Amino acid sequence: MTARSAPLRVGLAGFGTVGRAVARQLQRETDVDLVAILNRRAPIWPAGAVADPVRWTDSIDDLLDFQLDVFVELIGGRDPATDWIRAALRRGISVVTANKQVMAHDGPELLALAAEHGCQLRYEASVAGGVPVLRAIGGGLAGDTLVGLRGILNGTCNYILSRMEQDGASFSVALEEAQRLGFAEANPSQDIDGLDARAKLAILAFIGFHLHAPVDAIAARSIAPVTPFDFTYARRLGCTIRQVASASCDASRRQLSAAVGPALVSLDSPLARVSGSENLVTVTGELGGETTYGGRGAGGDPTAVAVVSDVLAIARRATASTPRRFTAVGEVADASAAPYYLRFTVRDRPGIIAALAAILAARDINIDAILQEPGFASTARPFVVTIDPAPASAIHGALDDIRALDFHVADPLALPIVTAAVTEVVA
């Protein structure tokens, strides 16, 4: 608990929105000295924003040579960030990063490297931006055995789906709006296809369950096929639609089940009320039950709070309480069993329900209800079949068989229905 005598020497790589916010905040802290910034583009410092002298470089070797105590990595992407982090740790320099891809893929290896060299690797900003959920799980719930995780981890998807819900906008209109407002990238695949949320889920899983899985082994489904019809039917079922990331592990703590994709969520549930770029994470422990963590998941200032809090923790010599041992798992099961929403858009004719029902019955999938809103032409009529809890693999297998039938005018869509804590739907 004793303060260091000299301020912590910090070097920063990356000078975009988050990097600038971090630099501003670090320079207000007395325990910290921001000595150098690596900017791969031209070193542009907003005039008057900073009082202290800061050295500029475009070389990682130069940066690490400034006798750093902490290297803050904010360049994003795996390459060259992973190598830069390794280089710092090997020199005994602690690292603070916001990099979800690096941590999701190589987190356990890098944490071991940090331990080996007697320094720290902190990454609170890599999941849920300004919400200190990693610290809460890794430290505050260390005395529990976690069995389930669920979250809304991508603000872009949440913005798009909220717009579709509110105005009946199509996916493409809502996406264009998000792009125009700067909430979505020109190439939005990382967000809408679930790759961003999947990396965050992999990090939550290794902190919460101590299971490290290949990121690509986690199923990710796009929100692009969701239509305004789906919101209409969802509302009839007391639900809305959100991109949900879920993971659970079995009692032996060797098997991980995880998936990211659009899902029906009850209008009563906290997930339904997450708006705009907010994030929410729900954690279920055997002893403590469900705890929730919410707040801004993106943006320069909230993300900078997480980065600077990690730097201050090192300045105060607080050591991280990350679990030291992870179990590597090669395969990840798809989402746990859940009730499902299946939406078909068909050229109507007799026999369609009979054909669907036969395929579902062959896979032991039980139909709960069939819903059909009036007012659609028989040439493109959407209807919905709800399904009693079934494993994702059975549902997607049946859907592949159903796709082969000749009456579709749009690809069928299967969405899990999230009704309660993640563990209550574990098979």
Cβ(26)–Cβ(311) under 8 Å?
A: yes
Does 187 help bind a second copy (rule: CB under 8 A)? no
How many other CB atoms are there within 10 angstroms of residue 289's CB atom?
A: 11
Does 227 help bind a second copy (rule: CB under 8 A)? no
Cβ(412)–Cβ(232) under 8 Å?
A: no
Distance CA 2, CA 406 (A): 73
Query: Which tokens sit at 3?
Result: 């303060």
Shortest approach of a second copy to residue 336 CB, angstroms?
21
Shortest approach of a second copy to residue 15 CB, angstroms?
18
Distance CA 288, CA 364 (A): 35
Sheet holding 55-57, edge to edge: 55-57, 32-38, 8-13, 70-73, 94-97, 121-122
Residues forming a β-bridge with 288: none
Does 312 help bind a second copy (rule: CB under 8 A)? yes
Query: Which tokens sit at 316?
Result: 């105060």
Cβ(130)–Cβ(302) under 8 Å?
A: yes
With CA atoms as reference, report the closest residue to 332 among 218, 427, 254, 249. 218
Per-residue binding letters, 318-337, with a second copy (x by CB under 8 A): xxxxx-x-------------
Shortest approach of a second copy to residue 341 CB, angstroms?
24
Of residues 127 and 192, the one with the C-beta less far from a second copy = 127
Our CA angle for 31, 34, 37, nearest 5°, is 160
Distance CA 373, CA 209 (A): 43
Query: Which tokens sit at 340?
Result: 């499902």
Contact range with a second copy by CB under 8 A, out of 134-142, 204-212, 251-259, 408-416: 134-142
| Side chain identity, residue 28 | R
Does 6 help bind a second copy (rule: CB under 8 A)? no
Q: What share of the chain is helix, strand, coil (3-state, %, to 5)?
A: 35, 25, 35
Distance CA 128, CA 2 (A): 31
Contact range with a second copy by CB under 8 A, out of 97-105, 257-265, 312-320, 416-424: 312-320
Shortest approach of a second copy to residue 134 CB, angstroms?
8
Cβ(305)–Cβ(167) under 8 Å?
A: no
Does 139 help bind a second copy (rule: CB under 8 A)? yes
Per-residue binding letters, 277-306, with a second copy (x by CB under 8 A): --------x-xxxxxxxxxx----xx-xxx
Does 236 help bind a second copy (rule: CB under 8 A)? no
Options 4, 236, 317, 403; binder of a second copy; rule CB under 8 A: 317
Does 33 help bind a second copy (rule: CB under 8 A)? no
Shortest approach of a second copy to residue 85 CB, angstroms?
16
What are the start-end ranges of the H helices in 181-227?
189-192, 195-208
**Active-site residue, from 163, 200, 212, 242:** 200
Options 87, 115, 267, 359; binder of a second copy; rule CB under 8 A: 115
Does 267 help bind a second copy (rule: CB under 8 A)? no
Per-residue binding letters, 141-170, with a second copy (x by CB under 8 A): xxxx--------------------------
Shortest approach of a second copy to residue 109 CB, angstroms?
14
Distance CA 399, CA 412 (A): 7
Shortest approach of a second copy to residue 263 CB, angstroms?
20
Query: Which tokens sit at 157?
Result: 């998807």
Does 7 help bind a second copy (rule: CB under 8 A)? no
Does 21 help bind a second copy (rule: CB under 8 A)? yes
Contact range with a second copy by CB under 8 A, out of 8-16, 114-122, 182-190, 201-209: 114-122
Shortest approach of a second copy to residue 427 CB, angstroms?
25
| Side chain identity, residue 192 | I
**Annotated catalytic residue 200:** yes
* Residues classed as catalytic: 200
In the complex, the residues that contact a second copy under the rule CB under 8 A are 1-3, 21, 25, 29, 114-115, 118, 120, 124, 130-132, 135-136, 139-144, 270, 273, 285, 287-296, 301-302, 304-313, 316-322, 324
